[in-house]
């Protein structure tokens, strides 16, 4: 019997409120999906089976069916559907602590770091209440390794470790983060490390990730010219008095020396005579 006929048969049992017979038929349809016999699987069947299990007061089986649907939706990229089903699981079984970790993973895959952090904190608090905090942090570390491309998630784990006074483990995570940044060569996108001359050889991970001090608002273009004080000193070294640095074609060294030397005050007649001499020399 093909998938559509199985679904029709299951619906008939639902109309008769024969929930168990309906579940049996739906499970046969799901078996076809799991074996790959159907090229376009209907993932909503898992949700429907879970709802029918609730009608028979079998909460454990219902949650198991919902969780299977969450995994399949997430594998196909339907993160919103998976998140909605996680909410349904928590309504059915509020003590399902692992669901909060699953929600954190789903939100991280959607790059919603704030929601991922909120669910991770909820997961850690509930695990701590159960006396399983060490196990919880082990799961969170695996979670951070799974999303190693996200610096925000790694730093979020560092903050959570520090909040519980796990400084050594936090330092270990910072080391991983620094190593990932250096191996990917993403120094331009990540906080720029300080120059080696400004850091001790045994710099801590926090120092390696600390932004480098920048010059006060100065940006230099790489034009091949020296920047800063050297360029300004060269500019100041240029003569700036009127007439300095000019040179006419054919001007002799004595003339240049005479023109550059201070001139004594002269009378008006002397100035006129000098002007006539200058014009004669200019047009020779």
Please write the tens of the pLDDT for every residue from 105-164. 999 999 898 999 899 889 989 999 999 988 988 898 888 888 877 778 888 888 888 888
Best CA proximity match to 10, nearest among 44, 40, 39: 44
Query: What's the pLDDT at 235?
Result: 41
> Percentage of the chain surpassing pLDDT 70?
63
Residue identified by tokens 């349904």 is: 88
Query: What's the pLDDT at 199?
Result: 47
Angle between helices 133-146 and 151-163 (to 10 degrees): 160
> Percentage of the chain surpassing pLDDT 90?
37
**How far, in Å, CA of 34 to CA of 59, rounded?**
22
| Maximum mean pLDDT: which of 159-168, 191-200, 216-225 | 159-168
Condensed to tens digits (0 to 9), the pLDDT of residues 25-68 reads 999 999 988 887 666 778 899 999 999 999 999 999 999 999 99
| Maximum mean pLDDT: which of 169-173, 256-260, 265-269 | 169-173
Banded pLDDT at 232 (limits 50, 70, 90):
very low
- Indicate the pTM of the whole model: 0.61
pLDDT at 202 over 60: no
- Looking at CATH, the fold of the domain delimited by 1-92 is given as 1.25.40
**How far, in Å, CA of 208 to CA of 231, rounded?**
33
Banded pLDDT at 181 (limits 50, 70, 90):
confident
């Amino acid at each position: 019997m093909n998938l559509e006929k199985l679904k029709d048969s299951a619906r008939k049992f639902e109309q008769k409120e024969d929930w168990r017979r309906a579940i049996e038929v739906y499970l046969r349809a799901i078996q076809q999906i799991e074996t790959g016999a159907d090229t376009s699987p209907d993932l909503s069947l898992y949700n429907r089976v879970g709802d029918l299990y609730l009608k028979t007061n079998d909460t454990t089986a219902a949650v198991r069916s919902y969780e299977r649907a969450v995994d399949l939706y997430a594998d196909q990229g339907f993160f919103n559907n998976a998140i909605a089903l996680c909410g349904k699981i928590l309504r059915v079984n509020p003590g399902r602590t692992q669901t909060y970790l699953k929600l954190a993973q789903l939100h991280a895959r959607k790059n919603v770091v704030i929601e991922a952090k909120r669910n991770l904190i909820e997961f850690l608090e509930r695990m701590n209440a159960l006396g399983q905090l060490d196990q919880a942090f082990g799961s969170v570390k695996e979670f951070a390794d799974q999303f190693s491309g996200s610096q925000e998630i790694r730093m979020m784990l560092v903050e959570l470790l520090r909040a519980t006074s796990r400084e050594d483990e936090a330092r270990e995570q910072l080391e991983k983060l620094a190593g990932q940044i250096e191996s990917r060569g993403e120094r331009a996108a990540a906080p720029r490390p300080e120059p080696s001359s400004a850091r001790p050889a045994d710099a801590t991970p926090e120092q390696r990730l600390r932004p480098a001090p920048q010059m006060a608002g100065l940006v230099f273009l790489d034009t091949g010219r020296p920047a800063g004080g050297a360029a300004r000193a060269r500019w100041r070294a240029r003569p700036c008095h009127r007439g300095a640095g000019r040179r006419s074609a054919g001007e002799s060294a004595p003339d240049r020396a005479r023109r550059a030397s201070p001139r004594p005050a002269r009378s008006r007649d002397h100035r006129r005579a000098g002007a006539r001499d200058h014009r004669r020399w200019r047009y020779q």
